[in-house]
Structure 1
Amino acid sequence: MKVTRIAYSARLNPGKYAALVEQARRLGRVRSEMWQRYGSINGVGAGLRDRQVRDRWLADGTHVRFGVLANAWKETVRDAMADIAANLAAAKVEVQWAIGRRTNAGAERKRMFTTLRADQWASDPFLARQMRKHWKRGRNRTHDQIVVCADKYNTAVDGQSRLWLAVPGLEPRKMVKIPLSTAVAPTGTLRLILRGGRVEVHYQIDAAEMRSSQRPCGDATVGVDKGYTEALTDSDGQPHGVQLGVVLSSESDRLKERNRRRAKLRSIANTAALRGNHAKAHRIKVNNLGTVKRDRQAARYRARVRTEIFTAVHEVVEKAATVVAEDLTKRFAGRKTLGKNINRRLAGWTKGVTAEALRNVSERRGSALVHVNAAYTSQTCHRCGAFGRRSGDRFHCTPCGVVWQADVNAAINILHRAGDPDIALHTPHHKVKQILQDRTDRHRTRLPVQDSSPAIAERRANYPNRSAMSN
């Protein structure tokens, strides 16, 4: 398993940064050419690989007009081809869901899946319409990246124990030396991302080399539920990542206030421009409406959230050999339309970070991750199985007469769902609800008769609950 590490430049010379920006801009034209030719429906079915594309460009002279070294544009072609393939695969996933909603016939569904997998969907009206909907014409917006092959750079340490990374520039045999803020030399293929006057060096390492991967996992089986005031809550009642809610709320409040002030400044700049005072409008846009500081704050916030979530997952794996969780990669459509402030607090992107952390940490430390169907796990009581009412972090069960902690109750239900013979991972939610309701009705019929009237007792014995006798 590979994990990505990032090294940052330290006090980089502005002239070197400008040279790297120019190189990244020219390589962005290479990406744009790739997406224009092969990143749309017209390029489907060509069956070309990156090496074949490079041979074509060398034969017809396309590579000459980019003005970069041969290895630089070849690595960019390879990287762009991989991006196109990933983009196409993501669109196919959406189309597969559409196929499942369209038909239940096994033969027809198999035919559609085979046609989609073989990239022959252009002749099928339904598949072509769905692919045009989910895979739009490709367009490149990446003009700040440089991909460097593993054998085209070198590292060195100077007399002051500073690590320098030398990468190819625009001219042959002239390297651009970048000082790094780390003592660990990057390895493998590098991806240089230029942001705000600083170079980010992305590279991959083997997960087995990390110290956290050498820590053993626990021996228990634990169910976990994702929360918002904390990252995870396990079935033992222990919360993990309790600072996540504070981080999300404080960032949401800060963004609300910052966006309000930026909107006011933007209005002032637009008013000044309409009155002909373009100098004032330009000063406001340059000095007050920039993106460098905003992007750095956003990067620090994302890093803090990731640290909180990964730390919480490590705490869970510390005690669990098997982690039972819901599939957080699935999309969930809410019934209510929420406001911008609430959406910022819920921070739906953290769901993907939690899914990534569960998968990576479990795999690296040897713990098994089991995904289950989480439908109605937060709306049923883990003791009696009856539907209850959730209010904030409390779950009210009327039959039991108990108020449970909502996240703990959901985590226990998720743990029980792992051994459920009737509810599979992809069972539709309406069938899950029917199964749970039937179980509740059967449970009620086994309860002793509360009314002492002989006539009512005899009628209940002869005619049990009809919903328990349904499908």
Structure 2
Amino acid sequence: MKVTRIAYSSRMNPGKYAALAEQARRLGWVRSEVWQRHGSINGVGAGLTDRQVRDRWLADGTHVRFAVLANAWKETVRDAMADIAANVAAAKVDVRRAIIRRTSAPVERKRMFTALKADQWAIDPFLSRQMRKHCKRGHNRTHDQIIVRADQHNSVTDARGRLWLAVPGLERRKMVKIPLSSAVAPTGTLRLILRGGRVEVHYQVDASQMRSSQRPCGQRAIGVDKGYTEALTDSDGTHHGTRLGQLLSSESDRLKERNRRRAKLRSIANTAALRGDHAKAHRIKANNLGTVKRDRQAARHRARVRTEIFTAVHEVVDKAATVIAEDLTKRFTGRKTLGKNVNRRLAAWTKGVTAEALTNVSERRGSALVPVNAAYTSQTCHQCGRFGRRSGDRLHCTRCGVVWQADVNAAINILHRAGDPDIALHTPHHAVKQILQDRTDRHRTRLPVQDSSPATAERRANHPNRSTMSK
């Protein structure tokens, strides 16, 4: 697999930066044109490839008005069409869930899944409605990126050992040389992102060549529960990434205070502008309401959070050949009303980074990642299966008379959920609750644990692990 690496420019010349910024701005027009023509449902339904779009633009002369080199706008078209395809693929995930909710007939489900995969959803009224509901028309807001093809750039090291990256500019045969702070030359297709006077060079490398990919994985099956105060808690009772909660909370509190001060300054500037004192309003906006420092602080915070989460996942994989975790691609809704501070901190919760780290590290190091349905794993006792009373990070089980650490209890339940024959990955949460309550009632009335239904008994025999087989 491939992983992305980032190299940064070092003491970039303002003139070179301005030339690259102008090129990125023009290529932003290219992206906007692609999204305008092909980002809607009708445009997606046309089924055009990026090569067909480029051929059409060459035939009708659309490319002339962008005033950029051919390779630059062609690579931008390819990248924008890939973004549109990703947008459609994300919508199809929601449509598949709608199909599962709509019908339980295997033949009808297969027909709908096949039509959706083959992009023939327009002829089916239900699929068409669902695609129009979930595939929203996108708009381009990217005007700071340049895609450079692999054979269009080169690197050289000067006498002082500094690495220079040469990329095409707006004029033919005139390269723009960028000094890099890295000693490793970027390879393959590059994505240049211009932020705050600095150029970020994004490129991909083979993950198998990384040192972390050479570390062997463990030999056991481990269940993990994601959290806020720590990144992960495993079924052995070990907490990983214990600094995550402190990082998120301190950053949330800092942003609250900073945004309060910025809002006050913005109010003063607006009042001065209404009064006619435009010079004062301009000074405040230029000197006190900039975004360069803010963006760099946000980037540093994101980097620290990613490091904490990836380190936690590596610690789990060190002892796990199979990592069992909840499906982090699902949306979670809660009925409990929380305070503003709690909502702000939870809004910064990095569920997506955790999902990325679990997938990335498991694949690179050779361990298996098994997603399971985690409904009610944090509310039931792993020892007796009854619903307990959750209070903070404690779960009180009235039947066992034990107080469990909530995250450890949830991790053990997630580990057991992988072998549950009745609770599949996409079983609705209300059905999961009913299954758990039925099991509790059987234990309380001393009935046999197995279901009396022959169909259920056959399903248990044929599918001992429904969760790992679900997709």
Normalized against structure 1, the TM-score is what?
Answer: 0.92
- The 3 A distance-change label for structure 1 pair 138 and 371 is closer
Aligned 1:85-234 pairs, distance under 5 A: 85-234=85-234
Q: Is this contact kept in 2: 1:32–1:139, CA < 8 A?
A: yes
3-state secondary structure, aligned to 1:424: coil
> Deviation at 1:92?
2.0
- Corresponding residue for 2:335? 335
Which has the higher Rg, Structure 1 or Structure 2? 1
- Corresponding residue for 1:46? 46
Distance (whole Å) between structure 2 residues aligned to residue 368 and residue 108 of structure 1: 32
> Deviation at 1:423?
1.6
Distance (whole Å) between structure 1 residues aligned to residue 423 and residue 115 of structure 2: 31
Aligned 1:182-331 pairs, distance under 5 A: 182-331=182-331
What is the root-mean-square deviation of aligned Cα atoms in Å?
1.9
Q: Is this contact kept in 2: 1:248–1:347, CA < 8 A?
A: no
Deviations 1:289-325 (A, max 9, x none): 1111111111111110000000000011111111111
3-state secondary structure, aligned to 1:164: strand
Distance (whole Å) between structure 1 residues aligned to residue 42 and residue 431 of structure 2: 42
Deviations 1:208-232 (A, max 9, x none): 0100000101112211111111111
> Deviation at 1:429?
1.5
3-state secondary structure, aligned to 1:151: helix
> Deviation at 1:285?
1.2
Q: Is this contact kept in 2: 1:50–1:77, CA < 8 A?
A: yes
- Corresponding residue for 1:461? none
Q: Is this contact kept in 2: 1:24–1:146, CA < 8 A?
A: yes
Aligned 1:41-80 pairs, distance under 5 A: 41-80=41-80
Q: Is this contact kept in 1: 2:228–2:349, CA < 8 A?
A: no
Distance (whole Å) between structure 2 residues aligned to residue 288 and residue 159 of structure 1: 41
> Deviation at 1:115?
3.5
> Deviation at 1:469?
8.8
Name the amino acid aligned to 2:291: T
Name the amino acid aligned to 2:410: A
Distance (whole Å) between structure 2 residues aligned to residue 298 and residue 339 of structure 1: 24
Distance (whole Å) between structure 1 residues aligned to residue 345 and residue 135 of structure 2: 30
Distance (whole Å) between structure 2 residues aligned to residue 192 and residue 207 of structure 1: 21
- The 3 A distance-change label for structure 1 pair 384 and 309 is same
> Deviation at 1:133?
2.7
3-state secondary structure, aligned to 1:142: coil
Distance (whole Å) between structure 1 residues aligned to residue 402 and residue 380 of structure 2: 12
> Deviation at 1:366?
1.0
> Deviation at 1:123?
4.4
Percent identity of the aligned residues?
85
Structure 1 stretch 3-12 or stretch 285-294: which is displaced more?
Answer: 285-294
- The 3 A distance-change label for structure 1 pair 424 and 122 is closer
Structure 1 stretch 437-446 or stretch 126-135: which is displaced more?
Answer: 126-135
Distance (whole Å) between structure 2 residues aligned to residue 109 and residue 371 of structure 1: 22
Distance (whole Å) between structure 1 residues aligned to residue 115 and residue 236 of structure 2: 47
Deviations 1:239-284 (A, max 9, x none): 1011111111101110111111111111111111111111111111
Q: Is this contact kept in 2: 1:165–1:179, CA < 8 A?
A: yes
Distance (whole Å) between structure 2 residues aligned to residue 116 and residue 370 of structure 1: 25
> Deviation at 1:126?
3.7
Name the amino acid aligned to 1:275: R
> Deviation at 1:180?
0.3
Q: Is this contact kept in 1: 2:248–2:349, CA < 8 A?
A: no
Q: Is this contact kept in 1: 2:27–2:68, CA < 8 A?
A: yes
> Deviation at 1:63?
1.2
Deviations 1:53-98 (A, max 9, x none): 2122112211111111111111111111111111111122222323
> Deviation at 1:411?
0.7
Distance (whole Å) between structure 2 residues aligned to residue 262 and residue 291 of structure 1: 11
> Deviation at 1:118?
3.3
- Corresponding residue for 2:436? 436
Equivalent pairs counted in the alignment come to: 452
Distance (whole Å) between structure 2 residues aligned to residue 469 and residue 113 of structure 1: 33
- Corresponding residue for 1:398? 398
Distance (whole Å) between structure 1 residues aligned to residue 358 and residue 136 of structure 2: 32
- Corresponding residue for 1:361? 361
Q: Is this contact kept in 2: 1:31–1:76, CA < 8 A?
A: yes
Q: Is this contact kept in 2: 1:44–1:119, CA < 8 A?
A: no
3-state secondary structure, aligned to 1:78: helix
Q: Where do 5+ consecutive residues of structure 2 fail to align?
A: 457-471
Structure 1 stretch 406-415 or stretch 107-116: which is displaced more?
Answer: 107-116
Q: Where do 5+ consecutive residues of structure 1 fail to align?
A: 447-463
- Corresponding residue for 2:425? 425
- Corresponding residue for 1:9? 9
Q: Is this contact kept in 2: 1:217–1:320, CA < 8 A?
A: yes
Q: Is this contact kept in 2: 1:266–1:289, CA < 8 A?
A: yes
Q: Is this contact kept in 2: 1:35–1:138, CA < 8 A?
A: yes
> Deviation at 1:349?
4.7
- Corresponding residue for 2:346? 346
Q: Is this contact kept in 1: 2:381–2:397, CA < 8 A?
A: yes
> Deviation at 1:42?
2.6
Q: Is this contact kept in 1: 2:248–2:348, CA < 8 A?
A: no
3-state secondary structure, aligned to 2:318: helix
Distance (whole Å) between structure 2 residues aligned to residue 469 and residue 123 of structure 1: 43
Distance (whole Å) between structure 1 residues aligned to residue 383 and residue 263 of structure 2: 51
Distance (whole Å) between structure 2 residues aligned to residue 97 and residue 180 of structure 1: 46
Q: Is this contact kept in 1: 2:323–2:369, CA < 8 A?
A: yes
3-state secondary structure, aligned to 2:152: coil
Deviations 1:337-374 (A, max 9, x none): 43442123224551111111111111111111111111
- The 3 A distance-change label for structure 1 pair 51 and 160 is same
Distance (whole Å) between structure 1 residues aligned to residue 105 and residue 367 of structure 2: 38
Distance (whole Å) between structure 2 residues aligned to residue 309 and residue 401 of structure 1: 34
